[in-house]
Amino acid sequence: MSLADVAYLPETPAHDPEIDALNEEAFGPGRFTRAAYRIREGGPHDRSLSFVAVKGGAVIASVRMTPIAAGKGRSLMLGPLAVRPAHKNLGIGRRLVAMALAAAAAAGWASVLLVGDEPYYGPLGFSKIPYGQLSMPRPVDLNRLLIHEIVPGATANLTGEVMHVAQAR
């Protein structure tokens, strides 16, 4: 496959069914029990910061961004990120993460957090959040709770339980 055939587009509602199928394929039914899913259940993701990769009219990868609150702090949660198996290891995941981070920075956000593999996300600018600073609505391996600071020091503004911003008082 040529990467020249892949278009990167802002997500629209028309992409929803294909994104659901992509996430089912990537994460299976167990995705509904994950801490990040529990947070995303609390309200909508931000389509203006969410992107798809499309080839031949079909969605082959997706990244979503959801506004979250932790104490008085506000941030974004990146995910799910999924690439169709036939298109893995071509840089599509990395490209979508970079697009989401650039869009977050352009929109004035100070940080982006996620639950994911540090060996993958570390080179993309994410690092571990100090243990004990944040809690999640379901158990997570704290080694997988990662943050990318757009504004240096922004992590310090996030404390306590992470929830969808719509759930915050």
Q: Which residues bind ligand COA (CB under 6 A)?
A: 26, 81-83, 88-94, 116-117, 119-120
Q: How far is the CB of 109 from ligand COA (least distance, A)?
A: 19
Q: How far is the CB of 169 from ligand COA (least distance, A)?
A: 29
Q: Considering beta carbons, is residue 71 or 137 the nearer one to ligand COA?
A: 137
Q: Considering beta carbons, is residue 109 or 126 the nearer one to ligand COA?
A: 126
Q: Considering beta carbons, is residue 56 or 153 the nearer one to ligand COA?
A: 56
Q: How far is the CB of 13 from ligand COA (least distance, A)?
A: 22
Q: How far is the CB of 28 from ligand COA (least distance, A)?
A: 10
136 vs 2: CA distance, rounded Å? 40
Give 20's contacts (C-beta < 8 A, 6+ positions apart): none
Q: Which residue is nearest to ligand COA (CB)?
A: 93
132 vs 160: CA distance, rounded Å? 8
Tokens 């650039």 -> residue = 102
Give 125's contacts (C-beta < 8 A, 6+ positions apart): 101, 148
Q: Considering beta carbons, is residue 23 or 155 the nearer one to ligand COA?
A: 23
Q: Considering beta carbons, is residue 118 or 149 the nearer one to ligand COA?
A: 118
Q: How far is the CB of 38 from ligand COA (least distance, A)?
A: 15
